Structure 1
Amino acid sequence: MRRMMMRAMLGAACLGLGVGAEAAEKLKVLIIEGQNNHSWETTTPILKEALEKSGRFEASVARTPPAKAPASAWDSFRPEFKAFDVVLTNYNGEPWPAPVREALEGYVAGGGGLVVMHAANNAFPEWPAYNEMIGLGWRDAAFGDRVTVDDSGNVVRTPRGDGPGSGHGPRHAYTVDVRNAEHPITKGLPSKWTHAVDELYHGQRGPARNMEVLATAFSDEAQGGTGTNEPLLWTVAFGEGRVAVNVMGHAWGDDVGPIEAPDFRALIVRAAEWAATGAVTVPVPDDFPTVAK
């Protein structure tokens, strides 16, 4: 905890002095992979490259056993979460052993950072603390509350059982709207931008406590959507820790366009730095998209 506080102070000092990310001490990020209904084999290297190219991170990877591996194969999967400043999960698969679940809970509650990307918010519906950490997940309508944002920018909370459960229409390009321009992750970004052809999640469900919506997209009924503004990027406070969830970034086979999109890469880097330190020193890249005029 003390180390994380010192790094947060260092990040803030560098920001105040106008020092670039490359001059700050590198943060240690652990990427979890190994099972997913998406192409983790191709997306993890892209995530690792984006984080390290920013100059702010030293990235490591922990791989779970494959699906249907014998129980004994999990005995050696014991990531040392506390050795890292932030954990990025690219995992959606079988439940982790109880010691690993307890270790992640304690790590985040004690001040660690967690970043959840795309289908990783589909994982672990049976794990109460994970549902608390991610706020909203890919769950059915009876699982928990739904959160949307109306056209005036007000957060609308729909109780469990009302409205749709989780889903998405066909992949398409869509406009992302920033809902909190002063949060470190979104500060300095365009107020709107066009995201690459991607899935647009809707009807996410969960406890949604201590949650702040940072960006949304309109889920058009003509595209199989819900006709309202759905959260795409949000944060959750869990104990002393910080969690950032970004449900953009679908990838299947060689189709990794959404992961390689400049906005997605920038948001992953900025979310990871914020989750680790509470601040963001990495600048908005020059190729960050805007809305075509």
Structure 2
Amino acid sequence: MIRKALPFLAAALLAALALAPAADASVAPADPSYKVLVFSKTDTFRHDAIPTAVQTIKDLGAANGFTVDVTEDDTVFTRAGLSAYRTVVFALTTGDVLNDAEQTAFEGYIRGGGGYVGLHAAADTEYSWPFYGELVGAYFKSHPAQQQAAVRVEDPVHPSTAHLPASWSRFDEWYAYRSNPRTSAHVLASLDETSYSPGSGAMGDHPITWCKNHQGGRSWYTGMGHTKESYSDPAYRKMLLGGIRYTAGAVNADCTPSGGGTGTVQAESFQTTQGGRTVTKAGADNGQTLGYLDPGDWVSYANLPVGGSTTFKARVVSGGAGGTIQIRTGSPTGPVLGSVAVPNTGGWATFKDVSTTLAGVPSGRADVYLTFTGTGSSLLDVDDFAFNTPAPGPVLGLAGKCLDVSGAATTNGTQVQLFTCSGGYAQQWTRTPAGELRALGKCLDVSGGGTADGTKVDLWDCNASAAQQWTPTPAGELRNPQSGKCLDVAGAGSADGTKVLLWTCWGGSNQRWGLPV
């Protein structure tokens, strides 16, 4: 009799499941309880979506087990006031919203492992506070009219974007930024600029949502969320929930920078060590440093994205004689990329930043070793460190015009030309130690590796070939070592759209270029 009842029970169970309500897309698995602060103070423009955004976060909290406090009172930004919260949401803030003391308290909160979520106009906030600019990832520059656009989802596994389709069409106000965050942040989603009219805000490579680890804390930002309707979109709500959960430490995710630089590496997060160990120390990021370092000690860090880096910076502390940090790759006796001296910083509680230039940096990723030299014992502690890429800038040519990627396109073979300087990302170039000039994530390239006069110069995937090496000369030329020829403006023309090409060097003004510092 029991055997006969099983089919009926199974059918009944299936029927019950079919009638059960679908799971709310903006409800996550239960997390340990924590508190979130939503801060929505404005000093300039005030978005009418702020009340909707605030209510949405309160609703997400109620459905997902975290408590939400809401304020526009900046006096909560004290060490004690912030200590209750796992993350702070800057909900469409604008202008200068914190005074100096409050900024210092928030910096300490982030360095102590706190979280930051920035919504839309959070990038239009605190322009004169460098720490904030680094935390959010980029400052607002401009926006066109609100319109439909296609969002490209670049990370299909991050908790804030795992639920999204590869191409997500939505209506919003699409911000352009003063710099590209890709070198210091992990880009989660970007805009397809062919899907809408960006106007003067065209960036070519156009990140719109990203995350990063910053000086011990976690940061997540999206440029989306201008409209009230955004906050009723289940996909947007789930994306926002993922950003909150990530910055609160409820879930982990890879926020390694998408291109260039390593972001900030916590020194105590080493893979292997000979001699050094983790030290609990007040004032340190995450409350810990790498310490007890004696001459001959070393530590390793696996698979860091060092390619394109030109400088190394570390946050250190020493109450003794100090010592020297050597940066190596491959092994503790591998090639030295650079060395930086660490002095007595004024005591074991006084931190200082030190830096050095690098040479011989391998492309892509590498295992990094820090080795230590000096006299005595317990030379220094290292709190964190970073490999940094040079800042992009314009390459100035004939008639004061700029080296420009036609149409800000990133297709291999796109013509490079001369054009009136606009500050757009199609005119932002970065020099690398390998002699490359990079824009929009690709390299200035001699088409087909040609050497004949008139060979096209275009944009192409970076491949470390001789066709992508450019050597500046004292005369202001850019020579391609493979051919011995120069980057040349065709026919010495200065009209917008004049092509650049390869030509025999002859000293003319159409072969002179001013490079970014």
Normalising by structure 2, report the TM-score: 0.39
Q: Are residues 230 and 183 of structure 1, via their aligned partners in 2, closer, same or farther at CA, if it must alter by over 3 Å?
A: same
Structural mapping, 1:191-210, within 5 Å: 191-195=166-170, 197-205=171-179, 210=184
Q: Which residue of 1 aligns with 2:452?
A: none
2:95–2:127 CA contact under 8 A, matched in 1 = no
2-structure distance, mates of 1:262, 1:276: 21
2:155–2:188 CA contact under 8 A, matched in 1 = yes
Percent identical across equivalent pairs?
26
| Residue 33 (structure 1) aligned with residue 40 (structure 2) | yes
> 1:2-39 deviations in whole A, cap 9, x for unaligned?
xxxxxxxxxxxxxxxxxx84643222110001325312
1:177–1:192 CA contact under 8 A, matched in 2 = yes
> 1:211-245 deviations in whole A, cap 9, x for unaligned?
11110111248623427341110012111111001
Opposite residue 154 of structure 2, the aligned amino acid is R
Structure with higher RCO (Cα < 8 A, 6+ apart) = 1
Q: Are residues 115 and 265 of structure 1, via their aligned partners in 2, closer, same or farther at CA, if it must alter by over 3 Å?
A: same
Report SS of the residue matched to 1:279. coil
Q: Are residues 21 and 224 of structure 1, via their aligned partners in 2, closer, same or farther at CA, if it must alter by over 3 Å?
A: closer
Q: Which residue of 1 aligns with 2:83?
A: 82
Q: Which residue of 1 aligns with 2:71?
A: 62
Please report how far the alpha carbon of residue 51 of structure 1 lies from its aligned counterpart in structure 2 after TM superposition. 2.2
> Which range moved further: 270-279 or 240-249?
270-279
2:123–2:138 CA contact under 8 A, matched in 1 = yes
> 1:92-121 deviations in whole A, cap 9, x for unaligned?
133411121111111111111100000011
Specify which structure has the higher proportion of helix: 1
| Larger of the two Rg values belongs to structure | 2
1:202–1:219 CA contact under 8 A, matched in 2 = no
Q: Are residues 222 and 184 of structure 1, via their aligned partners in 2, closer, same or farther at CA, if it must alter by over 3 Å?
A: closer
2-structure distance, mates of 1:208, 1:132: 12
Normalising by structure 1, report the TM-score: 0.67
Please report how far the alpha carbon of residue 184 of structure 1 lies from its aligned counterpart in structure 2 after TM superposition. 3.1
1:236–1:243 CA contact under 8 A, matched in 2 = yes
Opposite residue 57 of structure 1, the aligned amino acid is F
2-structure distance, mates of 1:185, 1:108: 20
Q: Are residues 264 and 192 of structure 1, via their aligned partners in 2, closer, same or farther at CA, if it must alter by over 3 Å?
A: same
Q: Are residues 220 and 171 of structure 1, via their aligned partners in 2, closer, same or farther at CA, if it must alter by over 3 Å?
A: farther
1:167–1:201 CA contact under 8 A, matched in 2 = yes
2:180–2:207 CA contact under 8 A, matched in 1 = no
1:201–1:247 CA contact under 8 A, matched in 2 = yes
- Runs of 4+ in structure 1 deviating by more than 6 angstroms, as ranges, are none
> 1:56-92 deviations in whole A, cap 9, x for unaligned?
321101213xxxxxxxxx6x45451121011001221
- The root-mean-square deviation of aligned C-alpha atoms, in Å, is 2.6
Structural mapping, 1:106-185, within 5 Å: 106-138=108-140, 166-185=141-160
2-structure distance, mates of 1:227, 1:246: 16
Indicate which of 238, 261, 267 corresponds to 2:214. 238
Q: Which residue of 2 aligns with 1:150?
A: none
Opposite residue 177 of structure 2, the aligned amino acid is G
Report SS of the residue matched to 1:181. coil
Specify which structure has the higher proportion of strand: 2
Count the aligned residue pairs: 220
1:86–1:113 CA contact under 8 A, matched in 2 = yes
Q: Which residue of 2 aligns with 1:149?
A: none
Report SS of the residue matched to 1:223. coil
Indicate which of 264, 268, 271 corresponds to 2:236. 264
Q: Are residues 28 and 260 of structure 1, via their aligned partners in 2, closer, same or farther at CA, if it must alter by over 3 Å?
A: same
Provide structure 2 residue ranges, at least 5 long, that are not aligned to the other structure. Answer: 1-26, 254-517
Q: Are residues 81 and 209 of structure 1, via their aligned partners in 2, closer, same or farther at CA, if it must alter by over 3 Å?
A: farther
